[in-house]
Chains A and B, each alone.
Chain A
Amino acid sequence: MKQTVFEWLRVRLPLDIAWRRYFSHYYLAKNLNIWYVWGALALLVLVSQGITGFWLTMFYTPTIQHAFQSIQTLMRDVPYGWLFRYMHTTGASAIFFILYLHIFRGLLYGSYQRPRELVWIIGVMLWITMLLESVLGYLLPWGQLSYWGAQVITAMLGVVPYVGDALVTWIRGDFSIGQPTLQRFFAFHVIGIPVFLSLLTLLHLVALRHVGSSNPDGIKVPKRASPATRAFYPFFVLKDCLAMTIFLTIFCVMVFFYPHLGGYLIDPANAVPADPFVTPNPLTPMWYMAPFYGMLRAIPNKSAGICTMFTAMGLLFLLPCLDKSPVSSMRYKGLYSRLALSLLIISVGVLGYVGINEPTAINQLCAQVATGCYFFYFIGMPWYTRFESTRPLPEFLA
């Protein structure tokens, strides 16, 4: 009986073939290290965000009169409402923490190189879409930071020549952030963007499965059982499960004991209902946007600052063309690449610090230098990767 049911299913829906292709007979280099668990963790948090977000929708009212109150009711009166709200807010930060490490892995081991260009490009699209998703979601609680964050971000579109002001009004659906803005942000946050994110995630994974994961040595491994490879299931699945267990332990500690984490996960200014006449001081961006906000502050010209910020994000798309190195992994790249990557990490740290803290003269100067370093990593890449001496690649994985 059981056999017949499985046979009936197998003919119509070849799940066993999918299982073999994507799990039990999907072979990866055996030397994948801790840098290769972030993708699975990102997927875990994305699913968690989907579930908690779906649940939050049941209790949230997207009107400017009731939005703030509905969150307070959720936190105080709904059984366990605090739990899935904190899971959602902590999850938002967690996903960016994971994504930045995931992206760093790409830079470190050259995961964007041939033949994984499309995996990388879809990945960058995912990251930018998630930033957009977080901006949209941030308005929903209708607190002070929600309101003023949305105010500042939508106002950025005003720099578009000729149609800027009309564009801002069109996006807001009102002359300031109001009911139409809240309602459309809600629609995009809960339906529009998540559907798009799911599609991108699927494409990211399908493309990855086709070309196979990179590896810390950046050398080609056969896509079949061999001394250099291990099957995704059970070896890497179990490894990912271990990573998830450790991650979830830390995540639960954050959710249960440090849901605000000194304002980095939830800013205290957002405990005050939105007031269109008073801007909170200081107005700090979320930490995962702070480096780009730092660039905005570093450039003393409005249009140039905004263009710099978006260019800085967009440059990630171009990495596959910019890297001219004959090797992928930092293990075999030369001194210049190592220096450039170190410089990039330091400059992102400095920009993040400047983005969150009060702008002072010395901060501004540091941010300008850091912006320069950030751009050098990308713009200089075709040269410093070509003219450095690389180490010899091993023939095969030992």
Chain B
Amino acid sequence: MSDTKSPHHKPCEECERNESVDLERRRFIKISLKILGGLGTACAFFPFLSSLQPSRRTLAVNGPVSVDLSQLQPGQTLTVKWRGKPIWVVRRTQAMLEQLQKNNPELRDPNSRVPQQPSFAQNPWRSLHPEYLVLVGVCTHLGCVPRYHMQDNDHTQTSGFYCPCHGSRFDMAGRVYRHMPAPINLEVPPYRFVNAHTLIIGETL
């Protein structure tokens, strides 16, 4: 028996002599080994991949934040950090609220059809309480932080938000104007009021 006869020659002479090898049994063992080994390896991946998700510490740090609104005057804004992002709280004036309805024809999604807000905020003012607007201050185009601007003295431009990166404009409900780079309205985070002046950002009722 020489090596040149077949590249897959049996490495053991006993095996060649032994004609009574149960090939069916051997095949079963091989397949079982492959399946069980594969399953075991797949399971071994689980803890390693699982560890990459946010840890309990990170989840705790990113829990709900409480905001005191008692000092916030009409027309003023307040920025708080939640999950590493700026959250704006704006106390809108009566004039701002009235302006919202007039903006509708110029907006891309005036009725907030795109789910960028909790269901309680899918209304004309995009908030739980019409007076208080709560928004995630991150542009829906490429993630810059837009700036709040008040109404001009000569009334040429209404108050709203303007993104310095690519010029997207949003109204006082965070709704994007037509022909802007940003595709959808600004996001409304989950929030709730504990009482008239205390806001909890990050959880709903």
Residues on A facing B (Cβ under 8 Å): 24-25, 27, 51, 55, 58-59, 73, 76-81, 83-84, 225, 227, 230-231, 233-235
B56 touches A80 (CB 8 A): no
Closest chain A CB from B9 CB (angstroms): 8
| Contacting residues, chain B, for A58 (C-beta < 8 A) | 51-52
B55 touches A80 (CB 8 A): no
With A225-B13, A227-B13 known to touch, is A73 a contact of B47 (CB < 8 Å)? no
A83 touches B47 (CB 8 A): yes
A79 touches B53 (CB 8 A): yes
Residue in B12, B50, B51, B56 with the greatest tally of chain A CB atoms within 10 Å? B51
Closest chain A CB from B29 CB (angstroms): 11
B55 touches A73 (CB 8 A): yes
Closest chain B CB from A373 CB (angstroms): 44
| Contacting residues, chain B, for A80 (C-beta < 8 A) | 47-48, 50-51
With A73-B57, A76-B56 known to touch, is A55 a contact of B11 (CB < 8 Å)? no
From 48 to 67 in chain B, residues with beta carbon under 8 angstroms from any chain A beta carbon are 48, 50-53, 55-58
Closest chain B CB from A381 CB (angstroms): 38
With A77-B58, A78-B51, A230-B12 given, name 4 new contacts (CB 8 A).
A73-B57, A77-B55, A233-B11, A234-B11
A84 touches B11 (CB 8 A): no
In whole angstroms, how far apart are the Cα atoms of A219 and B87 in the complex? 78
A55 touches B48 (CB 8 A): yes
In whole angstroms, how far apart are the Cα atoms of A186 and B23 in the complex? 53
Pairs A–B under 8 Å by Cβ, sample size 12: A24-B11, A59-B51, A73-B55, A76-B56, A77-B55, A79-B47, A80-B47, A80-B48, A83-B47, A84-B47, A230-B11, A231-B11
A231 touches B12 (CB 8 A): yes
In whole angstroms, how far apart are the Cα atoms of A234 and B53 in the complex? 40
Shortest Cβ distance from A226 into B: residue: B13
How many B residues touch A, CB cutoff 8 Å? 13
Interface digits, B11-23 against A, CB 8 Å rule (1 contact, 0 not)? 1110000000000
In whole angstroms, how far apart are the Cα atoms of A83 and B11 in the complex? 41
Interface digits, B26-52 against A, CB 8 Å rule (1 contact, 0 not)? 000000000000000000000110111
In whole angstroms, how far apart are the Cα atoms of A55 and B11 in the complex? 40
In whole angstroms, how far apart are the Cα atoms of A27 and B3 in the complex? 14
Q: Which 6 A-B pairs have the closest CB atoms?
A: A231-B11, A80-B47, A77-B56, A77-B57, A77-B55, A78-B55
Closest chain B CB from A87 CB (angstroms): 9
In whole angstroms, how far apart are the Cα atoms of A94 and B12 in the complex? 34
Closest chain B CB from A97 CB (angstroms): 22
| Contacting residues, chain A, for B48 (C-beta < 8 A) | 51, 55, 80, 84
| Contacting residues, chain A, for B51 (C-beta < 8 A) | 55, 58-59, 78-81, 84
Shortest Cβ distance from A52 into B: residue: B48
| Contacting residues, chain A, for B12 (C-beta < 8 A) | 225, 230-231, 235
| Contacting residues, chain A, for B13 (C-beta < 8 A) | 225, 227
In whole angstroms, how far apart are the Cα atoms of A79 and B51 in the complex? 5
In whole angstroms, how far apart are the Cα atoms of A76 and B56 in the complex? 8
In whole angstroms, how far apart are the Cα atoms of A79 and B52 in the complex? 8
Closest chain B CB from A357 CB (angstroms): 37
| Contacting residues, chain B, for A230 (C-beta < 8 A) | 11-12
| Contacting residues, chain B, for A25 (C-beta < 8 A) | 11
| Contacting residues, chain B, for A227 (C-beta < 8 A) | 13
In whole angstroms, how far apart are the Cα atoms of A234 and B11 in the complex? 9
Closest chain A CB from B13 CB (angstroms): 7
